[in-house]
Amino acid sequence: MARLAQLRLSMGTSILLVSLVFAAFLTVIMAILQLNLVWALVLTGIFILIQYLIGPVIVRASTNLRYLRSGEHPWLESTVKDLAQKSGIPMPKLATVPNDTPNAFVFGRTTGNATLAVHEGLLTRLNQDEVRGVIGHELGHIKHRDFLIMTALSSLPLLAYLIFRGTFEAAWISGRTSKKKEGGGLAAALFVVSIVSYIVYIISLLCVMRLSRLREHYADAYSAYVTESPRQLSSALTKITYGLSLSPKPPHGARMFYIADPALAKQEVQGLLQRKEQYDLDKDGVLDERELELAMEKEAKSRWASVNRWFQTHPPTFQRILLLREIEKEMTSGRYTTKRVYAHV
């Protein structure tokens, strides 16, 4: 499939860049603290391995999901099975999350034992065609194996942040005690390490966030291909965004793995509603589809919105919908082929 190699290249580049930054980071802090670099690399590898192994356990525990028994939800099971067969991937385990917000995600240690979890709110607020579009998106993540990459890659910014917090607090404590006795040099060294750690945290986080946004576009394009109906996911994304924006609960920590980020959804919808009078062209008090599209296009031109987007796990909903509409136009024209699945990403 055309341009899928670009996703793999972006994944490889992100891994290489973050790894190089982190290796340089470890070299610097080990030199400052006069410690053995080999042990730092070994401990980093152990941290990533632990993150990889316990990640699925944490997701299961934090979401309180429940695995479905065979035959418990026939339509969902048959739909996932049909799309998984078409995708050429193993049938994932199915689970539901007792949450009334519309969302879904996949996780696991390998593509062979992946779990596809859907919120109960997704099944009640969306129609079957829309849920099918969401399933196609999630199977795209399994097909591309990106959820495995993101699990390992996201551990490096986390480790940098933990080092920042630990060394900053240690420097503060050491600085207080150094007033009574010699040892201010250690406090200064720890403070320098904390600053370097925070800079590395920001740089590596930006790399991870960029890759996270890119993989969402690829999964959207894959959903359009495997379901043969981009409009299914486009309609689903609209309902999901508005549904998440109304949730009073704070966003979950693993926002990167959901089909939509609750924090971003709140930001998008609240921003548009604050300027509803500006975008309500016919002054009927409601933003119709055309007005909403124009509003989103105008919001996209905001320089601040572009900078703010660097730290987001998902692309804005309007970008995802426009991508799906471009694919739909090509499908309607009859020029769409399997070689052009990712041509619009």
pLDDT tens figures, 311-334: 788 888 888 888 998 999 999 998
Asked whether residue 193 is assigned to any structural domain, the reply reads yes
pLDDT value at residue 93: 95
List, for residues 7-36, the tens digit of each pLDDT value. Answer: 777 777 777 788 888 888 888 877 777 777
Asked whether residue 231 is assigned to any structural domain, the reply reads yes
Answer yes or no: 138 catalytic.
Answer: yes
Query: Among residues 130, 138, 216, 268, which one is catalytic?
Result: 138
pLDDT value at residue 59: 85
Asked whether residue 165 is assigned to any structural domain, the reply reads yes
State yes or no: pLDDT of 96 exceeds 90.
Answer: yes
Asked whether residue 44 is assigned to any structural domain, the reply reads yes
Give the mean model confidence (pLDDT) for residues 207-232. Answer: 92
> How far apart are alpha carbons 160 and 203 in whole angstroms?
10
Asked whether residue 126 is assigned to any structural domain, the reply reads yes
State yes or no: pLDDT of 292 exceeds 80.
Answer: no
> How far apart are alpha carbons 227 and 236 in whole angstroms?
13
pTM for this model (two decimals): 0.83
Torsion of CA 73, 77, 79, 80, to 10 degrees: 140
For every residue of 13-61, DSSP letters joined together read HHHHHHHHHHHHHHHHHHHHHT--HHHHHHHHHHHHHHHHHHHHHHHHH
Asked whether residue 269 is assigned to any structural domain, the reply reads yes
Contact at 8 Å (CB) between 125 and 239? yes
User: What is the share, in percent, of the chain residues with pLDDT greater than 70?
Assistant: 83
pLDDT value at residue 304: 47
- The pLDDT confidence band at residue 303, using thresholds 50, 70 and 90, is very low
Q: What is the mean pLDDT of the chain?
A: 82
List, for residues 231-283, the tens digit of each pLDDT value. Answer: 999 889 888 887 787 776 655 556 677 888 777 777 776 666 666 667 767 77
Give the mean model confidence (pLDDT) for residues 125-134. Answer: 95
Q: How many domains does the chain have?
A: 1
Asked whether residue 345 is assigned to any structural domain, the reply reads no
Buried b (16+ CB within 10 A) or exposed e, 94-121: bbbbebebbbbbbbbeebeebbbbbbeb
List, for residues 137-179, the tens digit of each pLDDT value. Answer: 999 999 998 888 888 888 888 888 988 998 888 888 776 665 5
Asked whether residue 120 is assigned to any structural domain, the reply reads yes
Q: Extract the runs of DSSP E, i.e. beta strands, from the chain.
A: 66-67, 93-97, 104-107, 115-119
Helix axes 230-245, 317-333, angle to 10 degrees: 170
Number of CB atoms found within 10 A of residue 335's CB? 10
List, for residues 110-123, the tens digit of each pLDDT value. Answer: 888 899 999 999 99
- DSSP letter for 93, please: E
> How far apart are alpha carbons 77 and 341 in whole angstroms?
25
Domain span at residue 320 reads 4-340
